[in-house]
Amino acid sequence: MGIMHRDVKPQNVMIDPTERKLRLIDWGLAEFYHPGVDYNVRVASRYHKGPELLVNLNQYDYSLDLWSVGCMLAAIVFKKEPFFKGSSNPDQLVKIATVLGTKELLGYLGKYGLHLPSEYDNIMRDFTKKAWTHFITSETKLAVPEVVDLIDNLLRYDHQERLTAKEAMDHKFFKANYE
C-alpha cells in the first residue's frame, strides 16, 4: 500500500536549487492505493492526465503519477510545454495518439476490454506512432539518448508497461555523468 498523488504537474513541484531537492506539493487529490479498488477518473490536470483516466479505466495505480512525470520530462527535454496540449479531455487523448499511435491505443484498450467512448467517433484518426527523434532539434540539447529512453519508458499507454518510481530512479539516465 502507498499513496497516489494524482495531480503531478509543474505547478505542484517545488525546487530547492541550493539543496538540489524536489518536493511534490498539493496532496489534495491524493488517495491511498489498494489493488482492485475503483478510483475516480476525474483527477489530474488535463495536460498530465494518463490515458487510463481519459478512457475511464477506474482501476489505476501509481503508474498514473509516472505518466505525469513523463509528460513533464518530455516538455522540458523537447522544449514543448505542455507536451500534450488538448483543448478538452477527448482532445487530450487525440493529442497523445498523434505521438504514441492509434493502433497502439486500440491494442491497449483491447487488452483491458475497453472501448473508446462515442465522443471519440468524430475526432480520433489513424495516427502512426512517431519516433522520439521527431522531437529532437538543434534546440533540444537536453535530449540525450538516456533521457529519451526514460521518457519512452514513462509515456506508455499501458500503465503496466511504465517504469515504476524505483525503476525510473534506477534508470541509466540518473547514473550517467553529463558534463
Residue-wise pLDDT for 33-52, tens only, equals 999 999 999 999 999 999 99
Q: Are 44 and 68 in contact (CB under 8 A)?
A: yes
pLDDT of residue 176: 82
- On average, the pLDDT of the chain sits at 96
Specify the DSSP element, H or E, that contains 2.
strand 2-4
pLDDT of residue 117: 86
Angle, helices 102-111/89-100, rounded to nearest 10 degrees? 110
Q: Provide, rounded to the nearest whole percent, the portion of the chain with pLDDT above 90.
A: 94
Domain CATH for 107 = 1.10.510.10
Is pLDDT larger for residue 96 or for residue 121? 96
Q: Quick check: is 83 in a domain?
A: yes
pLDDT-derived band of residue 177, with 50, 70 and 90 as boundaries?
A: confident
pTM: predicted TM-score of the whole model, two decimal places? 0.95
Q: Quick check: is 41 in a domain?
A: yes
- Ramachandran quadrant class, 56 (left: phi over 0; alpha: psi -120 to 50; beta: rest): left
17 pLDDT above the threshold of 90: yes
Active site residue 121: no
Specify the DSSP element, H or E, that contains 40.
none
pLDDT-derived band of residue 83, with 50, 70 and 90 as boundaries?
A: very high
Q: Which of 7, 91, 121, 126 is catalytic?
A: 7
**How many domains does one find in the chain?**
1
179 pLDDT above the threshold of 70: no
The Cα–Cα gap between 139 and 143 comes to 9
pLDDT-derived band of residue 26, with 50, 70 and 90 as boundaries?
A: very high
Q: Quick check: is 179 in a domain?
A: no
Class of residue 67 by CB neighbours under 10 A (exposed 0-12, middle 13-18, buried 19+): buried
Q: Quick check: is 55 in a domain?
A: yes
Q: Which structural domain, as residue segments, surrounds residue 156?
A: 2-174
